[in-house]
Amino acid sequence: MTLVAHRRARLLGAACLSALLASAAQAQDAADQVPAAPQTVPQATDPAAPVGPGAATNQPGDAAGSQDGLEEIVITAERREQSLQDIPISATVFSANEIARRGITNLADVQQSAPSVAINTVNRSTFINIRGVGIAQSAPTSNPGIAYYIDGQLIPHEQFIGQSFYDIGAIEVLRGPQGTLTGQNSTGGAIYVRTPEPEFNATSGYLEQTIGNFDSYRTTGAINWGPNDNVAVRIAGIHDQRDSFSENIGPSPSQPGSFNLDSFRVNLALRTPDQRLKINVRGEYFDYRSDNIPVKNRGDIVPALRDPAQPALDPRQSDAFVIREDAISFLNQQGYRLSGEVRYDLSDAVQIRGLTSWQDGYTHDQADGDRGLAPINLAAPTGRRGRVSRASTDFRTFINEINLLSTGKGPFQWVIGAFSLDETVPLLQLRDDRSQVDIVSATLNRTVTEATNTSQSLFGQANWFATDRIELIAGARYSWDKQVYDRYEVSRTITQGIGTPVTATPITGVQKSTALTGKVGVNFHATDDVLLYATASKGYKAGGVNLTPNTPNFGPEKNFVYEAGIKAELLDRHLRINADVFRSDYKDIQLASLLNGLPLTQNAASGKAWGAEFELTAQFGGFSFNGGVGWLDAAFADDVCVNNTNNPAGTPALCGGVADQLVPKGQELPFSPEWTINAGAQYAFALGNDVTLTPRVQWSHVTSQIGTPFPSAFSEIPGRDVIDARLTLDFGDRYRLEAFVNNLTDELYIASQIQNASSANGGYVFGAPRQYGVRGTVRF
């Protein structure tokens, strides 16, 4: 059977398995006031109700001036839909209206509006760090520190989270460990993305077209068909393409940075007449094709870092958006996601929920190894040798979760559940040291690996109103994780010549991890509109196996966070203020680097962080304002010696003779900018005849940060200020026309730093320059 046939068979099997699982959480209507005893856990709308763009009309955002007070923000982090103001979690939640207002089109845009969030795109991966906790290196055996979900499905790998958003109902950014209900890989937090539910008894849809500079064309749309109370389906899709921000003046025909995305999603909803049984079957396909990302050779900007093996500089290379490469480069990603969710009310007070998810994603990428025109030289160090590298990875993931939870009214609410994940990640890496253009040699540096990951956990959480105003919370989760890594390498050393026999070295590694995580807290409902809370929580990320032979496995990391906060809605729900302070004790940090060009993860010393976040949202008639501030002081709590990719010799005199480099106590943690600030304001002018004109301006500021524990030109990411502006014209609820400018001042900034590897050298990835365009929407 071919690989394609295998995939189709697995997808069909996953579709059948989804029907075998049971049920999901039905929540109650949210109360505007704290109810009298017997008390209940505050809950929001029915989870089966539409929550997507436009909600009742299922369109991408309402007219800009259609509301006077603030809309209720619904969050699903605790397995039931609740108001954000009623749960003790520091979170930024974007409703469909806010997504449209702020022009959020991908995950990178989220960091412009969410405090304490840093998002970096490196090669084929998108890394999320919250409060200085997350991940900065991609490998088949590594795990992210921020859990990412789409419609309840965990997306366990960072390769498939950076693509363009479309038809999104809400985005929840949760700060701090989510070790009870989210589980492993949430040491720093979690992001939940929700798409709209199909609407029953309604036929509707929308089409949205965006045209911009850099030959940007983006088409999105959705159709909802609900013939009755029992069946509804929603189909959404996107085509998104854009030319590169950079120009490749080398002989390669590739233009890294250009891309083309096609994707569609189907959500079939079934309900029994009594609404006790609810079934959702979801499927999504994506096909992303690009010329990879443009990585600026550091030597083009900093003469001291220039590789003498490179030819003389072309004067145009002083431009940040000019690269000079000779190799054919590409990054292609295709995949499927299929899930089945079943919810069944066992009684008026208890519901059972089951979710099964099958994911099959494939990445295929090739890059210019020296990021330039250096000639082939087998005897030279890796950093000065013309070469081409290619990697092909298949991620096959099967996930099951089952919950039993309370849905009735009363002072005691609870949820218990079980979770399992099984996946295989086969990887083929090729490096041609005898070609500057493509993989052509008969003899290659070839590495074949396969990582097998399994995870099981049991969890539960209870909320109890001890009095009308005091709510106690306790939850726990126990996780069992195992990773088996097999590597088969056929390689030759740098000095071996053509015709030298190759060697085969099979390597197998196994790492097992277990952990008890959880959360305790107390809520004090001071008034009907003010919540004070204090929590202590623990998050965990499993250990794994290093790719480099004869290097030890790395163990799990833990994060203990103590947090206190306030959530308040004031002035008759026209002003919302959420604020928190926290302390983090970060243990056995999994610090990523490169050893001999391969990813290496080490358990570094502990880290400590103090921080605070403040968010304000206001709506007064046509005027609305949002602002957020995050302050973070995160540093290593002890001296630690770790590998430094850019200084292989290290500081052995300070590290017991080992060729590692000392990171002194007090050195800041990677990806932990001290300040993240954002603000936005708009005013909806009613022009008559149901026409509204809304200008909006928004600003984000991020202070400098580092991508590794070693401050240098190889890791420093300077601070930046980005301003966006848009002008929206709404013609009732049916038509919308928008003009926008992103990065209005054309701020030049480094968005990411890529480190040297055996496959390719590192360099700068610059943020998007000024982009402008128009967007039109038709609803029907």
Report how many domains make up the chain. Answer: 1
Does 24 have pLDDT greater than 90? no
Average pLDDT over residues 467-494: 84
Does 734 have pLDDT greater than 60? yes
Does 321 have pLDDT greater than 70? yes
Torsion-angle region of 744 (φ positive above 0: left; ψ -120 to 50: alpha; else: beta): alpha
Which tops the pLDDT comparison, 64 or 296?
Answer: 296
Give the model's pLDDT for residue 234.
99
β-strands 189-194, 146-150 pairing: parallel
Residue 626 — very low, low, confident or very high, per pLDDT cuts 50/70/90? very high
Q: Which phi and psi angles does 14 have, rounded to 5°?
A: -65, -35
Residue 276 — very low, low, confident or very high, per pLDDT cuts 50/70/90? very high
8 A C-beta contact, residue 457 and residue 416: no
Does 60 have pLDDT greater than 80? no
Does 235 have pLDDT greater than 90? yes
Does 458 have pLDDT greater than 50? yes
Going from the C-alpha of 527 to that of each of 104, 418, 468, 566, the distances in angstroms are 34, 36, 11, 12
Residue 310 CB partners (closer than 8 Å, separation 6+)? 297, 299, 370, 372, 373, 374
Give the model's pLDDT for residue 303.
82
Does 532 have pLDDT greater than 70? yes
Average pLDDT over residues 482-507: 59
Does 52 have pLDDT greater than 60? no
Give the model's pLDDT for residue 547.
77
423-445 pLDDT tens trace: 999 988 888 877 888 888 766 77
Distance CA 447, CA 617 (A): 52
Average pLDDT over residues 98-117: 94
8 A C-beta contact, residue 780 and residue 205: yes
Mapping DSSP onto H, E and C, the string for 561-614 reads EEEEEEEEEECCCCEEEEEEEEEEEEECCEEEEEECCEEEEEECCCEEEEEEEE
Please give the structure tokens belonging to residue 158: 């960072």
Average pLDDT over residues 441-464: 88
CA dihedral angle for residue 18, residue 196, residue 149, residue 724, rounded to 10 degrees = 160
Range name among 73-82, 331-340, 378-387 with the lowest pLDDT average: 378-387
For residue 38, is the peptide bond before it cis, meaning its omega torsion is within 30 degrees of 0? yes
Does 18 have pLDDT greater than 70? no
Q: Which residues span the domain enclosing 12?
A: 3-779
CATH number, domain containing residue 548: 2.40.170.20
Residue 53 — very low, low, confident or very high, per pLDDT cuts 50/70/90? very low
Q: State percent of the chain over pLDDT 70.
A: 86
Give the model's pLDDT for residue 26.
34
In terms of Cβ atoms closer than 10 Å to its own Cβ (0-12, 13-18, 19+), residue 568 is middle
Residue 754 — very low, low, confident or very high, per pLDDT cuts 50/70/90? confident
Mean pLDDT of the chain: 86
Average pLDDT over residues 231-249: 97
Distance CA 556, CA 590 (A): 8
3-class SS of residue 536: strand
Does 177 have pLDDT greater than 90? yes
β-strands 750-754, 388-406 pairing: unpaired
Range name among 303-312, 658-667, 742-751 with the lowest pLDDT average: 303-312
Give the model's pLDDT for residue 27.
33
Does 316 have pLDDT greater than 70? yes
Does 533 have pLDDT greater than 50? yes
Give the model's pLDDT for residue 443.
65
Give the model's pLDDT for residue 526.
96
Does 596 have pLDDT greater than 70? no
Does 405 have pLDDT greater than 70? yes
Task: Kindly provide the b/e burial profile for residues 672-698, where b requires at least 16 CB atoms within 10 angstroms of the residue's own CB.
Answer: bbbebbbbbebbbeeeeeeebbbebeb
Average pLDDT over residues 48-76: 57
Beta bridge partners of 617: 576, 626
Does 335 have pLDDT greater than 90? yes
Give the model's pLDDT for residue 385.
64
Give the model's pLDDT for residue 127.
87
3-class SS of residue 197: coil
Give the model's pLDDT for residue 214.
97
Q: Beta-strand (E) ranges in 621-743?
A: 623-636, 640-642, 661-663, 675-683, 685-688, 691-702, 705-706, 716-717, 720-731, 735-742
Give the model's pLDDT for residue 444.
73
Does 71 have pLDDT greater than 80? yes
Going from the C-alpha of 648 to that of each of 116, 136, 651, 679, 726, the distances in angstroms are 32, 19, 9, 43, 48
